Amino acid sequence: MILFRSMSTVAIGSVFAVSILIAFGTGKQPFAAAWSFLKTLVVSRKYLLFFIAVIAIMILNKNELQLENWLKVPYDLTPVLSGWEGSWQAWLQTNLQSEALTAICAVFYLVMFQSVMIASVGIYTHHKNMKLYYAFCIAILINYFFAVPFYLFVPVNEVWFVHPQVRFLLPDVFPAFEQEYRSLSGLNNCFPSLHTSISVTLALLASKSGIRRWAIFAWINAIVIIFSIFYLGIHWFTDMAAGVVLALFSVFVGLKVGAWAENNSLVSLTLRTKAKLKASRPVGS
């Protein structure tokens, strides 16, 4: 069952998914959230700087493979970190594989992963939950900040590449995956699993949002993605475990910084308001 012919179809699917998720999380049509985002981007310097920082770290991650080719790390740590696990993913595929399940897992891996990330920004901004927005930005920064050095200096190959019993199932629904997507996800960029760490990060933050339906969906998304990385033949259990630890650390720090940034903004707003009131008083009053 071919679902994606190119990265363009993945992008189109992501735009569609983001629109639905924002409507689901805000209860409003997605253009309202988009307007809130653009307006806040213009009026708040701090909001803009946090957003720029996230974009910058993602650009760094996108170019990680070029750095990897330049460094030419000669060793392979797969046997040390993960190879001892065996090929239990082959059992998973043998007992559960179906076209429908492969399609669902591929959609969550390729589309929902980034769509929930983008929708989170729109939802928290629309609800004016700046603490969670700042926490989101910091947590994403930490995820990539820790993962990229591991990808450069701790190469761990994907499961299907190591064990011939394990099939790589993504090409079943996206035949051009190796040609079009691989540049974003290196073959030996397994440890830690960013799909795990970021999806769990988003779920943990959603749990703090006060939007019950959004929190429930974010956890469903994280659980399906974690299952997908095993079922599709990509990641090891150790990759997932490291991703969960990274998510917990990222959210802990993110919430601390988010609370500080929000309080700092409130203090600044209060001082500015008092200054304006003082300036507007008649002379001698």
pLDDT at 271: 41
- For 180: left if phi > 0, alpha if psi spans -120 to 50, otherwise beta; the answer is alpha
Mean pLDDT, range 194-201, rounded to an integer? 98
pLDDT at 264 over 50: yes
Q: Which residues contact 160 (CB under 8 A, 6 or more apart)?
A: 166, 167, 168, 233, 234
| Cα(46)–Cα(35) distance, integer angstroms | 18
Q: Specify the higher pLDDT residue, 27 or 61.
A: 27
Closest listed residue to residue 92, CA positions, set 244, 226, 200: 226
pLDDT at 145: 93
- Could you read off the pLDDT of 38-93 as tens digits, one per residue? 999 999 999 999 999 999 988 888 888 888 888 889 999 999 998 889 889 999 99
* Counted domains in the chain: 1
| Cα(2)–Cα(7) distance, integer angstroms | 13
| Cα(157)–Cα(152) distance, integer angstroms | 12
pLDDT at 138: 96
Report residue 106 as tokens: 């591929």
Query: Do residues 174 and 106 touch, judged by C-beta distance below 8 A?
Result: yes
19: containing domain = 7-276
Any domain includes 42: yes
pLDDT grade, residue 279 (50/70/90)? low
pLDDT at 66: 84
pLDDT at 274 over 60: no
Cβ count within 10 A of residue 153: 12
Q: Where are the alpha helices (DSSP H) in 72-183?
A: 78-81, 88-96, 99-107, 113-126, 130-153, 159-162, 170-173, 177-180
Any domain includes 97: yes
Report residue 237 as tokens: 């259990």
Any domain includes 284: no
Any domain includes 93: yes
Any domain includes 229: yes
Q: What is the mean pLDDT of the chain?
A: 91
CA angle 229, 199, 211 (to 5 degrees): 140
The CATH number linked to 130 is: 1.20.144
> In what helix (H) or strand (E) does residue 45 lie, and over which residues does it extend?
helix 45-62
Mean pLDDT, range 30-38, rounded to an integer? 92
Any domain includes 283: no
Any domain includes 285: no
Q: Is 64 helix (H, G, I), strand (E, B) or coil?
A: helix
Of 118-127, 144-153, 181-190, 272-281, give the lowest mean pLDDT range. Answer: 272-281
Any domain includes 131: yes
Estimate to the nearest angstrom the gap between the alpha carbon of 42 and the chain centroid. 24
pLDDT grade, residue 182 (50/70/90)? confident
pLDDT grade, residue 280 (50/70/90)? low
Query: Do residues 8 and 201 touch, judged by C-beta distance below 8 A?
Result: no
Query: Do residues 35 and 122 touch, judged by C-beta distance below 8 A?
Result: no
Report residue 197 as tokens: 């760490």
What number of CA atoms fall less than 13 Å from residue 54's CA on the CB side?
19
Q: Specify the higher pLDDT residue, 139 or 276.
A: 139
pLDDT at 111: 98
Of 59-63, 85-89, 132-136, 165-169, give the lowest mean pLDDT range. Answer: 59-63
Q: What percent of the chain has pLDDT over 90?
A: 80
pLDDT at 241 over 50: yes
